């Protein structure tokens, strides 16, 4: 019998009403829970919700700062001396009843060249941070370290940005005489006139609140950074006054209204700039994956169906070739289930979220990877469960092991239940690591975030996670095909 005929025969045998109904229910569960989850999201703002800034490469970014600025031509520079950087953190733990002085690690103040005041426009900045020293950052994604340490009146820091066409160079100095270049960036397509000046911004203070059995959820509080500058000199700028503006919304919080408004103040040649927000990669979350909450239901159904199918095969006298053909049939059925379920749920759910104003930074190619990748994961999980069923010849045993190896780790790491370190190791060592194919968020060293599985971050890249599942599947199938039942002649 040819392979095609064998597969056709085994597919016909597999298509029992009970199995087809179960797999259809799995796909429908993914779709229904996606629509329910996305439809239940509520977004409210005081007035129209602000649009999330988009960089020229199409990525969502953070771009909110106070900017004291003026025009700069195609050739020019700005030089300043920074003498102080302070800040405020509101209501930090443990008691949440104090407003304390301090800077979060990625608070920023310094000088910047920017293509206008539009959020998401190209820029290059040389800045001092709360605890990461001097940095040269540009176009949101890029970050280059400069000198370490802080800044004060006794140890001020000189900063300089130089523009030559589309090239921006950043240099620092301890005395204003000996300069060291930190980095150079090319910002293609800059107009003849850009904005140059001083800025300050500060992202929220992130802390983690324990929940569950050691898990954690993040809490973010308002912060503000204040930079003090003097010896401000601009070469190549057009004549005219400085302008003081917020890039993005500011001065809406009670702290800014009643205590210290964000802005820029000049007195006797000393300029003080206060601001809140951030400029850099957006702090992402796992919102796109929230629409796939039904995936765990589909996974359980697929594992049960495949394990019982394998146990039935294990009790029959069939050849290795037939066992392999049945594994392929189980994989195809699970792949089709995932392709239909995720293929409908993911685009429909994300479309609903976008319609409600929830930013969903998932390009088309990434969406295709998520849909095809999860379908492949379900197919491999079906083969794994099938192999366990053939090997053990007991459906219940194969189901228990399959659920323990795949469904349980996936379910408990998707929520903030276990300590982050435990969740990460589960997603390194168990077949559930393969669900890294659905990761749509990226980790950025210059962004403080809760980089944990419950927030949508997997410890392994998608290909490595998939390799873990493949390894388990190969072991299970080798066990399933390794022995030949008594009376097996090798023929069907």
Per-residue pLDDT of the chain (492 residues; tens, 9 = 90+): 899 999 999 999 999 999 999 999 999 999 999 999 988 887 776 666 777 898 998 888 999 999 999 999 999 999 999 999 999 999 888 777 788 999 999 999 999 999 999 999 999 999 999 999 999 999 999 999 999 988 988 899 999 999 999 999 999 999 999 999 999 999 999 999 999 999 999 999 999 999 999 999 989 999 999 999 999 999 987 777 899 999 998 999 989 998 899 999 999 999 999 999 999 998 876 666 788 999 999 999 999 999 999 999 999 989 999 999 999 999 999 999 999 999 999 999 999 988 887 877 777 888 899 999 999 999 999 999 999 999 999 999 999 999 999 999 999 999 999 999 999 999 999 999 999 999 888 889 999 999 999 988 999 999 999 999 999 999 999 999 985 543 444 443
Domain-by-domain residue ranges, the chain? 3-41+286-482, 61-281
Q: Which fold has domain 61-281?
A: Jelly Rolls (2.60.120)
The per-residue b/e assignment along 274-289, b for 16 or more CB within 10 angstroms, e otherwise, is bbbbbbbbbbbbbbbb
How many angstroms separate the most distant Cα atoms in the chain? Answer: 99
Helix, strand or coil, per DSSP, at residue 417: coil
In order of 65, 122, 140, the CA distances from 280 in angstroms are: 11, 11, 4
Nearest to 26 by CA among 344, 450, 457, 364: 344
Residue 407's nearest CA partner among 469, 459, 460, 455 is 469
Contact of 384 with 469, CB cutoff 8 Å = yes
What is 24-66 written as a DSSP string? HHHHHHHHHHHHHHHHT-----SSSPPPPPB-TTS-BEEEEEE
pTM above 0.75, yes or no: yes
């Amino acid at each position: 019998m040819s392979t095609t005929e064998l597969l056709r025969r085994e597919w016909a045998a597999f298509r029992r009403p009970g199995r087809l109904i179960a797999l259809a229910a799995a796909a429908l569960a993914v779709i229904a829970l996606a629509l329910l989850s996305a439809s239940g999201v509520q977004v409210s703002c005081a007035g129209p919700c602000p649009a999330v800034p988009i960089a020229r490469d199409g990525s969502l970014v953070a771009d909110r700062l106070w900017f004291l600025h003026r025009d700069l031509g195609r050739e020019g520079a700005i030089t300043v001396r920074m003498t102080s950087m302070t800040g405020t953190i509101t209501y930090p733990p443990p008691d949440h009843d104090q407003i304390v002085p301090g800077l979060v690690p990625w608070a920023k103040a310094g000088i910047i060249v920017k293509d206008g005041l539009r959020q998401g426009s190209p820029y290059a900045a040389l800045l001092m941070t709360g605890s990461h020293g001097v940095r040269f950052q540009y176009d949101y994604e890029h970050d280059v370290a400069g000198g370490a340490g802080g800044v004060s009146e006794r140890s001020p820091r000189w900063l300089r940005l130089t523009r030559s066409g589309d090239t921006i160079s950043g240099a620092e100095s301890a005395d204003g005489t000996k300069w060291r270049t930190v980095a150079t960036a090319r910002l293609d397509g800059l107009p003849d006139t850009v904005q140059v000046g001083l800025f300050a911004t500060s992202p929220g203070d992130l802390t983690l609140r324990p929940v569950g059995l050691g898990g954690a959820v993040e809490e973010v509080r308002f912060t503000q950074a204040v930079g003090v500058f003097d010896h401000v000199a601009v070469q190549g700028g057009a004549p005219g006054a400085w302008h003081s503006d917020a890039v993005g919304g500011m001065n809406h919080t009670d702290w800014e209204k009643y205590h210290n408004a964000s802005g820029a103040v000049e007195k006797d040649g000393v300029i003080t700039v206060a601001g809140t927000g951030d400029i850099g990669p957006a702090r992402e979350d796992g919102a796109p994956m929230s629409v796939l909450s039904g995936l765990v239901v589909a996974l359980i159904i697929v594992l049960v169906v495949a394990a019982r199918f394998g146990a039935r095969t294990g009790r029959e006298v069939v050849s290795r070739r037939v066992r392999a053909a049945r594994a392929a049939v189980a994989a195809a059925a699970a792949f089709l289930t995932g392709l239909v379920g995720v293929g409908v749920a993911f685009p429909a759910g994300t479309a609903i979220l976008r319609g409600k104003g929830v930013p969903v930074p998932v390009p088309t190619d990434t969406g295709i990877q998520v849909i095809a990748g999860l379908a492949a994961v379900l197919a491999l999980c079906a083969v794994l469960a099938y192999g366990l069923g053939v090997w053990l010849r007991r459906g219940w045993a194969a189901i228990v092991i399959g659920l323990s190896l795949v469904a349980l780790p996936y379910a408990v790491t998707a929520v903030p239940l276990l300590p982050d370190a435990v969740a990460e190791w589960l997603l390194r060592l168990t077949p559930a690591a393969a669900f890294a194919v659905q990761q749509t968020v990226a980790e950025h060293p210059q962004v403080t975030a809760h980089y944990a599985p419950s927030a949508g971050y997997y410890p392994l890249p998608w290909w490595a996670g998939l390799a873990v599942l493949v390894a388990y599947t190969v072991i299970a199938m080798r066990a399933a095909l390794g022995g030949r039942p008594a009376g097996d002649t090798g023929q069907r």
